[in-house]
């Protein structure tokens, strides 16, 4: 096939700005993290020692790190499953033709505009054990006042719920766009053939939404592993008793609180490999069920 460019160098020149940005802010930091993961700081960080894969061995033999990994997997599963289910349900309701629909849709999207730190602060005020609105209502109605921050089970539930709420707007935008692209004639034909509303959704709407749902599945998983540091830091700081010490927060602790740069770099490499592995697994399993209509 004949090239459409007058010169072979022109495509490279066009791609050069993108390659420079990716190289500076993606590839170089990744290579630097891998090289640092083979080192260990010594003498108050003034010297570094080459230790090979010793940092990785220490991590995978550490019960605390394995616990953090398990907590991260449970946390990510909760954020992804709850986030996609709730946002799809809200998008189905918001997609109906009602008066003031644009106002409602805008109101549903606004939480995504908040930074994680601001969102965490809002939830911390709401669920404060002594002065929070939620505990005030619960104490007045059912006579209980849970301590959301110091209870292990309640703390992880609080962080998962806050993370789901923070990302709802992002999911709703894409689900709404997908729903509005579902051909009305197909739904109408299914209803004429006697299909119930639930069967229409399960057999017609959901398969046509599968590309959007698969995209959001990947993006929500990345968000659950990388994008919730601010929420955890404000709400629980990894506590109580490391109940919410997910991998990204454990990495921060080792790097910036304990100055274990080699261990932190090794953790970043492991986290990157984990997310890439989960993504490839989803492409091999869920990705095969995605229906791209012609």
What pLDDT was estimated at residue 292? 66
Task: Report the sign of the C-alpha dihedral through residues 137, 139, 143, 148, in that order.
Answer: positive
Average pLDDT of the residues in 233-243 = 91
What pLDDT was estimated at residue 291? 65
Q: Can you tell me the distance from the alpha carbon of 157 to that of 149, in angstroms, rounded to the nearest whole number? A: 10
What is the pLDDT of the chain when averaged over all its residues?
Answer: 87
Angle value at C-alpha 96, between 94 and 101, nearest 5 degrees: 60
- 111-150: pLDDT as tens digits: 888 888 899 999 999 998 888 899 889 988 988 888 898 8
Q: Can you tell me the distance from the alpha carbon of 217 to that of 226, in angstroms, rounded to the nearest whole number? A: 14
- Contacts of residue 156, defined as CB under 8 A and 6 or more positions apart, other chains included, come to 71, 74, 75, 243, 244
DSSP string over 183-219:
-HHHHHHHHHTT--HHHHIIIIIHHHHHHHHHHHHHH
- Among residues 213, 245, 202, the alpha carbon closest in space to that of 74 is found at 245
- Among residues 135, 129, 174, 181, the alpha carbon closest in space to that of 150 is found at 129
Taking 3-state DSSP, the helix, strand and coil percentages for the chain, each rounded to the nearest 5, stand at 75, 5, 25
Q: Is it the case that residue 257 has pLDDT exceeding 50?
A: yes
Q: Which residues of 234-257 are buried (b: 16+ CB within 10 A; e: fewer)?
A: bbbebebebbbbbbbbbbbbbbee
What pLDDT was estimated at residue 268? 92
What pLDDT was estimated at residue 161? 95
- 82-113: pLDDT as tens digits: 999 999 999 988 888 777 777 777 788 888 88
pTM equals 0.88
Contact 287/105 with Cβ under 8 angstroms?
A: no
Q: Which domains does the chain have, with CATH numbers?
A: 60-286 (1.10.3720.10)
Q: Can you tell me the distance from the alpha carbon of 163 to that of 55, in angstroms, rounded to the nearest whole number? A: 31
What pLDDT was estimated at residue 1? 46
Q: What is the DSSP letter of 181?
A: T
Q: What is the DSSP letter of 52?
A: T
Q: Can you tell me the distance from the alpha carbon of 84 to that of 167, in angstroms, rounded to the nearest whole number? A: 10
- 170-228: pLDDT as tens digits: 999 999 988 888 877 887 787 777 777 788 888 888 888 888 999 999 999 999 999 99
- 64-75: pLDDT as tens digits: 999 999 999 999
Percent of the chain scoring above 90 in pLDDT: 41
């Amino acid at each position: 096939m004949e090239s459409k460019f007058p010169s072979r160098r022109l495509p490279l020149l066009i791609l050069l700005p993108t390659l420079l940005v990716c190289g500076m802010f993606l590839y170089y930091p990744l290579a630097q993290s891998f090289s640092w993961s083979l080192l260990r700081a010594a003498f108050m960080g003034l010297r570094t020692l080459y230790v090979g894969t010793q940092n990785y061995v220490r991590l995978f033999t550490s019960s605390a790190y394995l616990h953090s990994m398990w907590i991260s997997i449970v946390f990510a599963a909760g954020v992804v499953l709850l986030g996609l289910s709730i946002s799809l349900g809200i998008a189905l309701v918001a997609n109906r033709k009602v008066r003031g629909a644009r106002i409602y849709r805008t109101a549903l999207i606004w939480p995504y505009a908040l930074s994680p730190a601001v969102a965490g602060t809002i939830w911390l005020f709401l669920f404060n054990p002594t002065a929070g609105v939620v505990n005030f209502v619960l104490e007045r109605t059912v006579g209980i006042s849970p301590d959301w921050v110091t209870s292990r089970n309640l703390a992880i539930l609080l962080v998962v719920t806050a993370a789901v709420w923070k990302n709802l707007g992002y999911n709703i935008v894409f689900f709404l766009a997908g729903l509005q692209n579902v051909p009305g004639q197909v739904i109408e034909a299914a209803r004429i053939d006697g299909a119930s509303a639930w069967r229409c959704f399960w057999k017609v709407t959901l398969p046509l939404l599968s590309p959007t749902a698969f995209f959001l599945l990947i993006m929500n998983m990345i968000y659950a592993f990388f994008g919730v540091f601010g929420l955890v830091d404000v709400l629980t700081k990894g506590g109580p008793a490391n109940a919410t010490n997910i991998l990204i927060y454990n990495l921060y602790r080792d790097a910036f609180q304990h100055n274990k740069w080699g261990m932190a770099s090794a953790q970043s490499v492991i986290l990157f490999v984990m997310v890439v592995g989960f993504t490839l697994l989803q492409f091999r399993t869920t990705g095969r069920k995605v229906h791209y209509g012609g």
